[in-house]
């Protein structure tokens, strides 16, 4: 039999058992679509993370308390409290004699609290930071002003509201000059920030800004900062600036051996490289787990082909009696398994692509910067693996059919 007639006959046999063929295909469709969806979602999640980091700025350098491996996350990022970084460290980084390419550097502490005005209140986060926050973050004040360096040094009880907090508390009324309560302390509203949306996975509009020293001493009772973020004049100066920052902090912290550093200096590009590695590894790991479901589909194909062999014993005997050789019989059943697995693979790719599109579309509606990414590699991998599964699990039923004795087969009842 030619390949054309072999395929045609295989399709005809599959059509005669529609329900059985559909159920067999279903296992392959689920397995293939799972691989496509997981790899697409992994790539989309990676794009979301990287887009968030890019939104912060590629010309920023962050300094975290606590040492860490060059390729690993700092302890502070993992939620471990480290107190080695101080407010004065950020001031030292601003001195041109220490770090030549820094435009501005802001220090940060953060916390959560209920903020109240009259009979209205809202739960939000407060951002204790320095007067040059807007310069570092490329943020702007819409109403009023941001606090000054003098207010920062004097523990002034002033607050700048995020736009969403202002709307929640004042419902469109002018908040400037009003007093709000944060953790039982009264703060005077001196400004409202422009809307920024979500940056670095934090809603910039749903927070308030107070002077760093005020947040430290009055609200949190601490004398350390969570991190420092520095803005440099040009990306090409990142490595030089990182080294100058490290030298400045070692001098301030009395550290002579770099291996004893109690801080970590990271650029945005480093963060992106680490996250790319982590998210890619996670995506491939999850895709590998999803691919295991294809083995279940393969077992289903083998079982269905063994049933098909038993149902067509007389047909096999008749073909052998009129001259069909074992390789022809084997090719017939192998072709059927490949047709099943390939059909399941193509259907799985279509289903996976549609679900991936739906996920990306929903994420866009929810204002997430999510890219729809379906790589050609994942499509080829999934389809190729489905054919491989069909071949592997179709070999035994095909071999069993090929080695049948034609006389015994014709006598079979």
Instruction: Tell me the C-alpha to C-alpha distance, in Å, between residue 145 and each of 141, 210, 264.
Output: 6, 12, 33
Residue (of 171, 172, 194, 199) closest to 51 by Cα position: 199
**pLDDT for residue 406:** 59
Tens digits of per-residue pLDDT, 200-210?
556 778 899 99
**pLDDT for residue 211:** 95
**pLDDT for residue 101:** 86
**pLDDT for residue 30:** 81
**pLDDT for residue 116:** 92
- Residue identified by tokens 């054919």 is 387
Token code pair at residue 149: 């360096």
Instruction: Tell me the C-alpha to C-alpha distance, in Å, between residue 175 and each of 39, 105, 119, 192.
Output: 47, 29, 14, 8
State the Cα–Cα distance between residues 129 and 195, nearest whole angstrom: 18
**pLDDT for residue 312:** 66
Can you list the alpha helix ranges (DSSP code H) found in 57-124?
87-93
State the Cα–Cα distance between residues 377 and 374, nearest whole angstrom: 8
By the 8 A CB rule, do 253 and 263 touch? yes
**pLDDT for residue 9:** 67
**pLDDT for residue 126:** 92
Average pLDDT, consecutive stretches of 10 residues, N- to C-terminus, the chain (413 residues) = 64 71 78 81 76 66 79 58 85 82 90 90 92 89 93 93 92 91 92 80 83 94 91 84 90 87 79 68 71 70 70 67 71 76 83 88 79 78 75 72 63 54
* Rg of the Cα atoms in the chain: 33
Whole-structure pTM value: 0.62
State the Cα–Cα distance between residues 89 and 267, nearest whole angstrom: 18
**pLDDT for residue 32:** 81
Tens digits of per-residue pLDDT, 152-198?
999 999 999 999 999 999 988 899 999 999 988 999 999 999 988 76
State the Cα–Cα distance between residues 393 and 387, nearest whole angstrom: 10
By the 8 A CB rule, do 169 and 192 touch? no
Task: Report which DSSP code applies to 233.
Answer: S
Q: Around Cβ 180, how many Cβ atoms within 10 Å?
A: 23
State the Cα–Cα distance between residues 143 and 1, nearest whole angstrom: 83
Token code pair at residue 162: 């995020």
State the Cα–Cα distance between residues 169 and 205, nearest whole angstrom: 13
Domain locations in the chain?
Answer: 3-53+273-411, 83-261
């Amino acid at each position: 039999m030619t390949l054309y007639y072999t395929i045609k006959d295989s399709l005809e046999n599959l059509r005669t058992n529609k329900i059985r063929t559909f159920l067999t295909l279903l296992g392959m469709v689920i397995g293939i679509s799972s691989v496509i969806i997981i790899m697409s979602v992994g790539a989309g999640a990676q794009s979301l993370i990287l887009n968030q980091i890019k939104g912060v700025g590629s010309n920023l350098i962050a300094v975290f308390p606590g040492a860490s491996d060059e390729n690993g996350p700092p302890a502070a990022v993992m939620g471990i409290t480290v107190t080695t970084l101080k407010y004065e460290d950020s001031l030292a980084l601003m001195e041109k004699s220490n770090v030549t390419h820094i435009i501005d550097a802001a220090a940060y502490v953060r916390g959560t609290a209920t903020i109240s005005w009259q009979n209205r209140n809202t739960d939000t986060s407060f951002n204790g930071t320095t007067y040059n926050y807007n310069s570092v973050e490329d943020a702007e004040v819409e109403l009023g002003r941001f606090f000054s360096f003098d207010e920062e040094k004097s523990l002034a009880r002033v607050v700048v509201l995020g736009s969403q907090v202002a709307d929640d508390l004042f419902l469109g009324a002018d908040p400037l000059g009003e007093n709000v309560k944060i953790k039982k302390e009264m703060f005077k509203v001196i400004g409202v920030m422009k809307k920024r949306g979500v940056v670095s996975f934090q809603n910039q509009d749903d927070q308030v800004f107070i002077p760093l020293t005020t947040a430290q001493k009055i609200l949190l009772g601490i004398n350390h900062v969570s991190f420092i973020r520095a803005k440099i004049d040009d990306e090409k100066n990142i490595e030089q600036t990182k080294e100058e920052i490290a030298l400045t902090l070692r001098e301030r912290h009395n550290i002579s051996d770099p291996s004893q550093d109690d801080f970590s200096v990271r650029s945005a590009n480093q963060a992106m490289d680490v996250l790319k590695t982590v998210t890619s590894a996670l995506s491939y790991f999850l895709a590998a787990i999803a691919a295991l479901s294809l083995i279940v589909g393969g077992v289903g194909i083998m079982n269905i082909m063994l049933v098909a062999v038993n149902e067509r014993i007389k047909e096999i005997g008749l073909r052998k009696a009129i001259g069909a050789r074992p390789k022809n019989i084997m090719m017939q059943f192998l072709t059927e398994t490949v047709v099943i697995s390939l059909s399941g693979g193509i259907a799985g790719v279509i289903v996976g692509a549609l679900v991936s599109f739906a996920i990306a579309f929903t994420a866009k509606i929810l204002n997430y910067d999510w890219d729809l990414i379906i790589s050609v590699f994942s499509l080829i991998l999934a389809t190729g693996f489905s054919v491989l599964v069909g071949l592997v699990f179709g070999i035994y039923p095909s071999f069993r059919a090929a080695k049948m004795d034609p006389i015994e087969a014709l006598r079979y009842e």
